[in-house]
Amino acid sequence: MTDVEQASSRDAGMTLIEVIVALGLFAVMSTAVLSVLTSAIHATTDDKSRIEAVNLASRELEIVRDTFSSVTRGPDKVVQNVVVNANPLPGGTAGQPIVVDGVPYTVTRTARWEQIGAADAQLSPCDQGSSSELVVLHVSVDVTWPALGSRPPVTMDTIMTPPKGTYSTLDGHLGLRVLDSEGHPRPNVTVTAVNGGLSAMGVTAADGCVLLAHLPAGDWTLTASNPNFVNRAGDPTASIVAHLQAGQLWRGSIEYDAAAAITATIGAPSGFDVPADVTALPMTLGNSALQPIGVKTVPGTGSTRLIEHLWPYPDGYGVWLGGCEDGNPSVTGDGLPVAVTRGTTTVASVQLGGVEIHTAPGTQLTAVHAADRSCTAPLTIQLGTAQAAAPDPSPSATAETTTGATDGPVPGPSAAATDTASPTASPTDSPTASPTEVASGPADPGGVLRVALPYGTWTIGDATVRIGPGNPMVLLL
């Protein structure tokens, strides 16, 4: 190759393949470098937030320590139990997040008097123990911020001891633990203690315990009250009376949890009317823990009912219409109990059974259910008037060939509500029904009335029939 050819080859530059390879290597290296830079930025930001959180926690402890040691304020001025963002920065609002460099921080402080050795043994004042003397104030501060995610909060705590003689030995202390429907501690519940004109208030900590310390002896009524919470009886508050003695640490517990609710919609077999008297019957809930006989009757009207303020039993509720014992799903075998969850509303369908009555046209019909221990008075339902049967094939033939009552809308204004209901405890969930029962009577007299009734034993005319899941009943009167 001549000198001219060699110089020309050197000046020719890179080929397309070489350019592509170079760009690929650059992209790989750039991605790696960018990943390292991003991680470094995140780590720096997180470290900055964590340092700020430590500063806020230390600031909170110093504010408490200053109040505790002050001659003019003292330990009594330290708010006991749980408080959130109690000491904002200048320009801030108490109870709202503390914003530093655009990052909102939540500062949660728990201050509680404890027994000797309780802090080391991780004991709660609500736990049983031999000592009733509360001699130290344990203050713990947790700081969180949105980017922290599920990681543990920044935590700082300290123990403060008042000078000897600060409190009278004649004082007593109240320790109340709040438990949820599963027996677990319920935090963030407001508890108020009242004794005549005296009162004290606190909020339960993570262990479900609230301690109201250094109170005079006497009878104190402790009441837990949170919005949309209930006790087992469905009451919005839960109370207990403490007989506090001098020098005593009284301990007790109550059950209190977020309320559950059920939206129950009446469903009837297709082609069967729901009498107005049926939609005026009460809805009934069943659970063996309900006092005194395991049922709770809830008055109401309409084909869709909202049943609120329910204790969230883990095993749920049986739901049926009318209140009589033989309509209970546990008796009829019509599906499982309706599961409920604390703080939420569950949708349920309450099915009726169909009965096709053949009698003389124009006959006014009434159904009566005898009283039992759940429905203490007989139920009387005005069914309506039998109409002349149409000449087309008898609906009874349809009833005889049906393998189970079909979920269908309640005629009239309630149809839309039924269509949107969940098919909970639908009759079609039960095994295949036996052939339709036909009561003995004269030949078909030419009039017919098709209605839907709650499950149970009913007397219609001179016949007594058992209505339940499965085929619609055919009755000749």
Question: Mind listing the pLDDT tens digit for each residue in 125-160?
Answer: 787 654 556 667 889 999 999 988 889 999 999 988
Of 139-143, 318-322, 473-477, the range with the lowest mean pLDDT is: 473-477
* Ranges in the chain annotated CATH 2.60.40.1120: 176-256
The whole-angstrom separation of Cα 100 and Cα 293 is: 58
Q: What is the pLDDT of residue 423?
A: 34
Q: What is the pLDDT of residue 374?
A: 83
Residue of higher predicted confidence among 429 and 173: 173
Strands 345-351 and 260-267: parallel
pLDDT at 355 over 90: yes
Of 351-360, 427-436, 449-458, the range with the lowest mean pLDDT is: 427-436
Average pLDDT over residues 272-278: 94
- pLDDT band at residue 247 under the 50/70/90 scheme: confident
Residue 262: HSE in the Cβ half-sphere, 13 Å Cα cutoff: 26
Q: What is the pLDDT of residue 399?
A: 39
Residue of higher predicted confidence among 313 and 35: 313
pLDDT at 205 over 50: yes
Task: Tell me what the pLDDT averaged over the chain comes to.
Answer: 81
pLDDT at 434 over 90: no
Average pLDDT over residues 283-309: 91
Contact in structure between 161 and 135 (CB atoms under 8 Å):
yes
Of 91-95, 274-278, 405-409, the range with the lowest mean pLDDT is: 405-409
Query: Would you identify the CATH topology of the domain 176-256?
Result: Immunoglobulin-like (2.60.40)
Q: Which amino acid is at 202?
A: G
Tokens found for residue 284: 């009934």
Measured at the alpha carbon of residue 280, what is the angle toward residues 279 and 282, in degrees to the nearest 5?
105
pLDDT at 410 over 90: no
Share of the chain above pLDDT 90, in %: 48
pLDDT at 12 over 80: no
Q: What is the pLDDT of residue 53?
A: 93
pLDDT at 46 over 50: yes
Burial of 380 (C-beta count, 10 Å sphere; 0-12/13-18/19+): exposed
Average pLDDT over residues 96-124: 79
pLDDT at 88 over 70: yes
Q: What is the pLDDT of residue 34?
A: 74
Average pLDDT over residues 157-186: 83
Q: What is the pLDDT of residue 129?
A: 55
- pLDDT band at residue 348 under the 50/70/90 scheme: very high
Average pLDDT over residues 182-207: 93
Of 22-31, 47-56, 174-183, 433-442, the range with the lowest mean pLDDT is: 433-442
Q: What is the pLDDT of residue 426?
A: 36
| Element (DSSP H or E) covering residue 381 | strand 379-385
- pLDDT band at residue 477 under the 50/70/90 scheme: confident
Q: What is the pLDDT of residue 18?
A: 76
Average pLDDT over residues 315-326: 91
Contact in structure between 376 and 292 (CB atoms under 8 Å):
no
Report which of 247, 191, 245 is spatially closest to residue 218, judged by C-alpha positions. 245
Backbone angles phi, psi at 99, to 5 degrees: -100, 125
Q: What is the pLDDT of residue 171?
A: 80
Residue 262: beta bridge partners? 307, 346
Which SS3 state, helix, strand or coil, does residue 408 take? strand
